[in-house]
Amino acid sequence: MSSSTCFIPKTPSDPKKYSFLLPGITPKTLLQSEHLLEKNHTEHDIFFNENGFHNHLVHHYLAAYSMGADTKRLQEIYDDHASYQRKLPPPVGDLTRENFKQELGKRDAYTSYLRLFQREIEQHGMVDTIRRFVFMDDMLARTVGGAFHPVIHLGYAIEFDLPAVAAEGLAMAACTEANLSCLISSLPCLQEILVPVQAATMATSARDMVSKITSDMAAKLGLGGHNNDGTTGSSRGGLHNEKSPESANSLTATDMTANLKEAMNNNVLVDLMEEIHRDTDFDGVVKFTDSNKIRAFLANSQAVEKVKAYASRWHVHDDAKDLQAKVKELYTACMLCYGSTAIREQGIKLDFFLMHALTSIHAIHLLLPILAPNEAAALLKGHAAATLSYYVSRGRPSMQVELLLKYESDEAANDSGNPWLKICERAIHAPEAHIIKVVRACAVGQIVYGHDGRSEPFEKAWVRLADMTLKIASNKVDGNYWNHKGIGFDEAWQ
């Protein structure tokens, strides 16, 4: 055994399957949860108003349950959300595989879709049903649409092994508009027979092994091999070779340490966001006065094509090693996109939509292990395209990573122990549903990626962001916990 590796603790032992859980779940909270989750499932719509705002009861409840909330707090969470939910709507007809598409995008069809997916799950299982329906036609665009809520719901279903919640998430996706289909390509029609995930993974591994042997042999013969991004020989352009050294976080590059600058440059998605921030072709595409900023962006075909071109430069290969590297890259980019754009010298404003990019990449972390490699790659690329689109729609805010890393609330500054312990306790009692979800997403990011030596420059970002979210989002400003106006616009800071 090598002495350099046999004493390094590996935590968690299987990062790709890690799920965040704290002590505190009891027989009483388990029984209570079964009752209340079923009550929500049978009584409430997944949309609580005519505008299509989503029922967050399951998200908030399960997040608090996983962190050890007691029966009193869990009942409070349920009662608060249940107080404004709409009743389950009447079915619009009997939906089957044959007529599945006829009600897509219609919110009043939720009950009919819910029944369809319940039958599918009973017959074929939760995982196969998710794989079969998410990766067909334009359903992937719907699943990461609606501010990412369907994929978040499916993440909770997988994390807590709740088939009924999976049916809710799939029905939510089916009722969501496919307005991101201009960015996310449609997939093949519904597959009657699915290749088992294990078999698909083995086939991909075998193909990659043959490709590597061929490339190595070609290199030895001087014929030129293939790089990891699919380019050949020395022709690999790369995103970073084409850019000036100061391009990484150009607004704060002079203040950065060399390690932080290198870490920023090594994350292709962060680099793409910085390029988009500086790209004047996006000026005026979305205005501060636009009431629905993502819709304003999607209505501009030239802007959409530019974002597609940017997103296409992020290459995701369907092999296990690259998938894990890319989910780390996307997870970190979403954290920085939400956290480092929220802070300026004049204050802090947390963007509601960029926050959802972070809580949804947490869901994707949970979903990836159940998917075939090609499905996982499609999901990652779809989420990245959606995240870049929301970044544009929020005004392309500058990323102030140094300010995020320096942030510390009074509560954290006075804590000499592990700050996460009090952060989790504060999160359980946070007044708004999204706050605890951000804390969980940051906690998982820190546990899975925060002690990786290559991530050292960001090691404090996770706890700083969780702390900042608790401090800022727990206090309403103009009646809101979050900024809905778009923090990339100067008017939002005035």
pLDDT confidence band for 352 (50 / 70 / 90): very high
Pairing of strands 343-344, 347-348: antiparallel
168 contacts: CB under 8 Å, gap ≥ 6 = 41, 46, 58, 114, 153, 157
pLDDT tens per residue, range 393-405: 999 999 999 999 9
SS3 of residue 396 by DSSP: coil
Between helices 27-43 and 57-66, what is the axis angle to 10°?
170
Sequence letter at residue 447? I
Residue type, 340: S
Residue 244 has a pLDDT of 36
Sole residue written with tokens 């995020």: 404
Is the pLDDT assigned to residue 172 strictly greater than 90? yes
In this structure, which amino acid lies at residue 401?
V
pLDDT at 56: 98
* Residue whose entry in the numeric block shows the structure tokens 């699943």: 143
Taking the model in full, what pTM does it have? 0.88
What's the pLDDT tens digit per position in 85-115? Answer: 999 999 999 999 999 999 999 999 999 999 9
Q: How long, in residues, is the chain?
A: 494
CA pair distance 333, 356, nearest whole angstrom: 13
Can you name the residues that pair with 356 across neighbouring β-strands?
none
Which region holds residue 238: left if phi is over 0, alpha if psi is between -120 and 50, else beta?
left
pLDDT digits (tens, 9 = 90+) for 9-39: 777 878 888 999 999 999 999 999 999 999 9
pLDDT score of 260: 76
Burial 363-384 (b: 16+ CB within 10 A, else e): bbbbbbebbbbebbbbbbbbbb
pLDDT digits (tens, 9 = 90+) for 314-342: 999 999 999 999 999 999 999 999 999 99
Structure tokens at 438: 């951000």
Give pLDDT tens digits for 381-440.
999 999 999 999 999 999 999 999 999 887 777 766 899 999 999 999 999 999 999 999
* CA of residue 223 relative to chain centroid, distance: 41
DSSP H or E stretch at residue 134: helix 126-134
Task: Convert the pLDDT of each residue in 174-226 to its tens digit.
Answer: 999 999 999 998 888 777 777 777 666 765 655 565 555 655 655 566 655 44
Contact 339, 461 (CB under 8 A): yes
Running DSSP on this structure, what letter comes out for residue 86?
P
Better pLDDT: 242 or 68? 68
Q: From the CB of residue 243, how many other CB atoms can be counted at a distance below 10 Å?
A: 15
Domain boundaries, the chain: 27-182, 198-225, 245-493
Q: Is 229 helix (H, G, I), strand (E, B) or coil?
A: coil
Helices (H) and strands (E) in the chain, counts: 21, 2
The residue-averaged pLDDT of 481-487 equals 95
State both tokens at 421.
């312990």
Rounded Cα distance between 30 and 150, Å, is 25
Close Cβ partners of 320 (under 8 Å, ≥ 6 residues apart): 201, 204, 205, 373
* 375 in Cβ contact with 167 (< 8 Å): no
**Long-range residue pairs from 163-169, CB within 8 A, at least 24 positions apart, any chain:** 163/121, 163/126, 164/37, 164/38, 164/41, 164/118, 165/37, 165/41, 165/58, 166/117, 166/121, 166/126, 166/129, 166/130, 167/114, 167/117, 167/118, 167/121, 168/41, 168/46, 168/58, 168/114
